[in-house]
């Protein structure tokens, strides 16, 4: 018995004979709710096929953003189900792709020949080409969930699909997302945000929580809990979308802990501006330019 079979057998034995837990449905999760009051918006898996999940990747794709959800979907095991719960594949317009840290990946498909997905996962990566944005828009017409992870929200936003909707991203990119796409309602402190068949996760590991949430919507809370246990994943964010609350308020710089005055991330000491007798630092030149153009918006009160 190989490792995958052993893990799947362990997961199957752990599930109760009653199957997945079905909770009353609602349009979306309720922010700020306690774990037991998070409402489930159920999805219906195909009875005789696996759910196709397309991972859209391009240059610089952040490994944990797509590998975290990949492992979640790959480990789901449903007793008495003839087919694997999910069928996973990578998609891009060219091959190979060099992801973060130099990991080289040869995608399974291009956007020209990829099977129609029911779930799309968009990690942080380089900006999408016009052809890729068209593929996302067209494929999303028939997806159950099109989800971004971290700054993959910028790729999804660039398609126009998030216009007028709520979304989240990595806490260091809240300001950038709000300024680049002012018609998006950026949700600070959200582990993930769901709007119709669109969903956006916060930074990095938040993608695993959103993936577990998708598992829950298809197969119930028991199945998602067993998957998390199999992965030895102790995070509870998938049960409470408001669990990134520590990022609601921007980090304020102090004399002993200077941060970027625009986004609150680690600053570059060579990038600074003086305003009303105080020095402010920035992580990238673009944020210095933003500050210099409207310092009152970011200066300490």
CATH of domain 3-247: 3.40.50.880
Q: What is the CA radius of gyration of the chain?
A: 20
- The pLDDT mean for the chain works out to 87
What percentage of the chain exceeds 70 in pLDDT?
Answer: 85
pLDDT at 17 over 70: no
Q: Among the ranges 6-10, 227-231, 282-286, which has the highest mean pLDDT value? A: 227-231
pLDDT at residue 250 in the model: 75
d(CA 84, CA 47): 11
d(CA 115, CA 244): 34
Provide the CATH topology of domain 251-301. Answer: Ribosomal Protein L24e; Chain: T; (2.30.170)
The domains spanning 3-247 and 251-301 adopt the same CATH topology: no
**Per-residue pLDDT reduced to its tens digit, 242-251:** 999 999 987 7
- What pTM was computed for the model? 0.82
Domains of the chain by residue range: 3-247, 251-301
């Amino acid at each position: 018995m190989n490792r995958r079979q052993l893990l799947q057998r362990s997961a199957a034995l752990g599930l109760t004979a009653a199957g997945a837990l079905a909770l009353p449905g609602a349009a979306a999760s309720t922010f700020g709710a306690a774990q037991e009051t998070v409402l489930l918006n159920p999805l219906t898996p195909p009875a005789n096929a696996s759910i196709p999940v397309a991972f859209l990747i391009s240059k610089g794709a952040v490994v944990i953003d797509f590998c975290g959800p990949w492992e979640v979907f790959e480990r789901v095991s449903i007793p008495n189900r003839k087919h694997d719960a999910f069928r996973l594949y990578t998609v891009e317009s060219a091959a190979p792709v060099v992801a973060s840290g130099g990991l080289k990946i040869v995608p399974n498909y291009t956007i020209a020949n990829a099977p129609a997905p029911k779930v799309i996962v968009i990690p942080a990566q380089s900006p999408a080409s016009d052809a890729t944005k068209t593929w996302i828009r067209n494929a999303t017409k028939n997806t159950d969930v099109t989800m971004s992870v971290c700054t993959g929200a910028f790729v999804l936003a660039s398609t126009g699909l998030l216009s007028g909707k709520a979304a989240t991203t990595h806490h260091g990119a809240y300001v950038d997302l709000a300024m680049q796409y002012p018609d998006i309602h950026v949700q600070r402190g959200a582990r993930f945000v769901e709007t119709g068949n669109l969903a956006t996760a916060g930074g990095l590991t938040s993608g695993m929580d959103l993936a577990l949430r998708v598992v829950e919507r298809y197969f119930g809370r028991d199945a998602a809990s067993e998957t998390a246990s199999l992965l030895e994943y102790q995070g509870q964010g998938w049960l409470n979308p408001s669990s990134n609350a520590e990022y609601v308020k921007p980090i304020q710089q102090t004399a002993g802990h200077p941060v970027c005055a625009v986004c609150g991330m680690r600053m570059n000491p060579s990038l600074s501006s003086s305003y009303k007798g105080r020095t402010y630092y920035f992580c990238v030149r673009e944020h210095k330019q933003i500050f210099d153009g409207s310092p009152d918006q970011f200066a300490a009160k």
